[in-house]
Amino acid sequence: MTGGVDGARDVPTGAPARIDTPSPGDRRLTRLSLNQRTVAHWSLREAVTGCVDAGINAIGVWREPVAEAGLPTAARMLNDAGLRVSSLCRGGFFTAADPTALHKARRDNLMALDEAAELGCDTLVLVPGGLPDRDRDLTGARERVAEAVGGLVPAARERGVRLGLEPMHPIFAADRGVISTLRQALDIAECFPAAEVGVVVDTFHVWWDPDVIAQIARAGDRVVSYQVSEWITPLPPDALLNRGMPGDGHIDFGVLTEAVAATGYQGDIEVEIFNEAVWAAPGADVLATITRRYAELVAPHLCTADPD
């Protein structure tokens, strides 16, 4: 992949690239991580190879493709490729009201913690879960999330894995994530040591929040993952697949990235995009666009020195 200004095109817009594609080794890419869901149609092996080819040094993996590869195989594959595993997606779904479902969720979260440990990944992303069927008690569901996180802390501590509670855009409050703001997530996280429970800052979920900058500052060393994706309009018809390529929408990545950097966050920064048009594009083109957009919109705002 040569310089974007020499003919590369961005996906999914098809517009000419605005900057040259960074080459592997480019220091602007040091902390970039590919969230595997961005290339949903790739196997884990394809994603690993794609990262190495594009000069991406870290990957956020999902449990399902890891299971498809087989856990020990996946761990070896990631290790052999020299990729850091920035997060495992995902545990959580804590909001069931009936005891059997709650017990099943707990068992599933313990398995996720085991998998994270086996993969050498120190962060498990927790999706809160939505309202149970025909249940309108949002307050009750939120309380169950707080309780379930607490119940998971000892097992996470034993395995050396941090729990990252992810507040989700209010568009998902009914069916996916009843924790809607960083403030709420921090109210829960702060019941536990910062080394054990933190929060995931995902630009798509939090960009609209009038309180976002203050809450990122409050989070401090509880930011366990920083994920970037874009709010685009018009919203694609499927509410679950409405994230865009950074730069194609309305989010000011500079302001949010500087706020996260100011907390001292030194971890990887995942690009996580759920979008049919991105999924339909060739994976290598997706990764090339990501490295360009990240180098243009995110990397310059990481005020803290990169490790290299």
Stretch that binds a copy of itself, among 87-95, 143-151, 158-166, 244-252 (CB under 8 A): 244-252
Retrieve residue 274's tokens: 């759920």
For a copy of itself, give the closer residue by CB, 27 or 136.
136
For position 15 contacting a copy of itself by CB under 8 A, the verdict is no
Contact (CB, 8 A) for 210 and 237: no
For position 3 contacting a copy of itself by CB under 8 A, the verdict is no
For position 147 contacting a copy of itself by CB under 8 A, the verdict is no
For position 203 contacting a copy of itself by CB under 8 A, the verdict is no
For a copy of itself, give the closer residue by CB, 41 or 134.
134
For a copy of itself, give the closer residue by CB, 98 or 308.
98
Residue 209 CA: distances (Å) to CA of 121, 167, 272: 29, 11, 19
For a copy of itself, give the closer residue by CB, 158 or 238.
238
Q: Where are the alpha helices (DSSP H) in the chain?
A: 44-54, 63-69, 71-81, 99-118, 138-159, 182-189, 203-206, 212-219, 253-262, 276-280, 283-293
For a copy of itself, give the closer residue by CB, 36 or 184.
184
For position 171 contacting a copy of itself by CB under 8 A, the verdict is yes
Q: How many CA atoms lie within 13 A of 6 on its CB side?
A: 6
For position 231 contacting a copy of itself by CB under 8 A, the verdict is yes
Dihedral-angle region of residue 164 (phi above 0 means left; psi in -120 to 50 means alpha; beta otherwise):
beta
For position 207 contacting a copy of itself by CB under 8 A, the verdict is yes
Residue 248 CA: distances (Å) to CA of 10, 13, 37, 132, 252: 10, 8, 18, 34, 11
Contact (CB, 8 A) for 27 and 306: yes
CB of 127 to a copy of itself, least distance (A): 16
Interaction residues for a copy of itself, span 247-266 (CB under 8 A): 249-252
Chain residues binding a copy of itself by CB under 8 A are 131, 136-138, 142, 169-171, 173-175, 180-181, 183-184, 207-210, 231, 233-235, 237-239, 249-252
